[in-house]
Amino acid sequence: MPILSSRGAGSAKGFGLTGGKGPYDIEFLVVAGGGGGGTQYSGGGAGGGLRTSTQKVTLGTVITVTVGDGGSSSSSSTVLPTQGSSSSISGTGLTTITSAGGGYGGYYNYPSPGNSGGGSGGSGGGGAGHDFNPGAGGSGNSPSTSPSQGNNGGAGKSSGPYTGGGGGGAGAAGATGTSSGDGGNGSASSITGSSNTYAGGGGGNGNGQNGAGGTGGGGAAVQSGSSNSGTANLGGGGGTNNTNGTAGGSGGKGVVILSMPLSSFSGTTTGSPTESTSGGNKILVFNGSGSYTT
The predicted model gives 204-230 an average pLDDT of: 92
Supply the DSSP string of 235-269, one letter for each residue.
Answer: TPPPPPB-STT---PPPPP-EEEEEEEGGG---EE
pLDDT of residue 15: 35
Measured distance CA(36)–CA(165) in Å, rounded:
14
- The structure's pTM equals 0.91
The stretch 189-201 carries a mean pLDDT of: 98
In this prediction, residue 198 has a pLDDT band, given cuts at 50, 70 and 90, of very high
User: Is residue 7 pLDDT above 70, yes or no?
Assistant: no
**Does the pLDDT of residue 81 top 70, yes or no?**
yes
Classify residue 174 as exposed, middle or buried by CB count within 10 Å of its CB (0-12, 13-18, 19+). Answer: buried
Would the pLDDT of 279 be above 70?
yes
Average pLDDT of the residues in 243-248: 89
20 vs 258: CA distance, rounded Å: 17
Q: How confident is the model at residue 112 (pLDDT cuts 50, 70, 90)?
A: low
CA dist 255 and 241 (Å) reads 26
Residue 233, classified by CB atoms within 10 Å of its CB into exposed (0-12), middle (13-18) or buried (19+), is buried
Segment 214-227 shows an average pLDDT of 96
Q: What is the predicted pLDDT for the residue at 113?
A: 53
Angle at CA of residue 82, ends 76 and 86, nearest 5°:
170
Q: What would the pLDDT profile of 29-64 be if each residue is shown by its tens digit?
A: 999 999 999 888 889 999 999 999 999 999 999 999
pLDDT at 236 over 90: yes
Confidence label for 3 from pLDDT (cuts 50, 70 and 90): very low
8-state DSSP, 193: S
pLDDT, position 132: 65
100: three-class secondary structure by DSSP: coil
Structure-model confidence comparison of residues 114 and 290, the more confident one: 290
**Sheet with 24-31: strands ordered across:** 50-57, 24-31, 255-261, 281-286, 274-278
With bands split at pLDDT 50, 70 and 90, how would you rate the model's confidence at 110? Answer: low
Work out the pLDDT band at 111, boundaries 50, 70, 90. Answer: low
Query: Measuring CA to CA, how many Å separate 188 from each of 204, 278, 290?
Result: 23, 17, 24
Q: What are phi and psi of 246, to 5 degrees?
A: -105, 125
